[in-house]
Amino acid sequence: MINADPGTPGHPGRDGPHVGLILALTIRGLSVGNYPDMTRVAQTAESHGFDSVWLCDHFLTLSPDDYVRDAGITDDANGDAPAAQGPSSIPLLECWTALSALSRDTTSLRLGTSVLCNSYRYPAVLAKMAATLDVISGGRVDLGLGAGWFQQEFEAYGIPFPSTGDRVSALAESLQVMRSVWTEANPRFSGDFYTIDGAICDPPPVQKPHPPLWIGGEGLRVNRIAVRHANGVNVRWWPAEKCAERRALLDRECEAIDRDPSTLELSVTTLLAPTASPTVQQQLRARFKSIPESGLITGSADACLERIREYQAAGVNHFLFTIPDVADSDYLDVVGEQILPHLDTSRAPSPA
- The count of other CB atoms within 10 Å of the CB of residue 286 is 9
pLDDT tens column, 153-171: 889 889 999 999 999 999 9
**What pLDDT is stored for residue 62 in this prediction?**
56
- Give the model's confidence band at 88: pLDDT under 50 very low, under 70 low, under 90 confident, else very high: low
Half-sphere exposure of 253 (CA within 13 A, CB side): 20
Please give the domain boundaries of the chain with CATH numbers for all domains: 18-343 (3.20.20.30)
User: DSSP for 41-89?
Assistant: HHHHHHHHT--EEEE---S----HHHHHHHHT--SSTT-PPPP--S-S-
Report pLDDT for 150.
86
Check pLDDT > 60 for residue 64: no
75 against 285, higher pLDDT: 285
Between residues 53 and 14, the one the model is more confident about: 53
pLDDT per position as a tens digit, 199-212: 999 999 999 999 99
> DSSP character for 337?
I
In DSSP terms, 298 is beta-bridged to 273
Model confidence at 72: pLDDT above 60: no
User: For residue 273, what are the β-bridge partners?
Assistant: 298
Model pLDDT for residues 228-269, shown as the tens digit of each residue: 999 999 999 999 999 999 999 999 999 999 999 999 999 999
In this prediction, residue 346 carries a pLDDT of: 52
**Predicted pLDDT at 77:** 45
Structure-model confidence comparison of residues 77 and 296, the more confident one: 296
Q: Read off the pLDDT of residues 276-321 as tens digits, 9 standing for 90 and up.
A: 999 999 999 999 999 999 999 999 999 999 999 999 999 999 999 9
Average pLDDT, the chain: 89
Confidence at 16, pLDDT banded by 50, 70, 90:
confident
- What was the pLDDT predicted at 59? 87
Where does the pLDDT of residue 348 fall: very low under 50, low under 70, confident under 90, or very high at 90 and above? Answer: very low
pTM of the model: 0.88
Smallest CA-to-CA distance from 205 within 221, 226, 181 is with 181
Nearest to 297 by CA among 286, 288, 308: 308
Can you tell me the mean pLDDT for 18-26?
96
Residue pair 243/235 in contact (Cβ under 8 Å)? The answer is yes
What per-residue confidence (pLDDT) applies to 69? 52
- Residue 125 has a pLDDT of 98
Low-confidence winner among 9-18, 71-80, 113-122, 246-255 (lowest mean pLDDT): 71-80
Between 85 and 194, where is the model more confident?
194
Interval 9-15 mean pLDDT: 45
Residue 19 phi/psi, 5-degree rounding, is -120, 115
Using the predicted structure, report yes or no on whether residue 350 has a pLDDT greater than 60.
Answer: no
pLDDT at 152: 84
In this predicted structure, what is the pLDDT of residue 279? 98
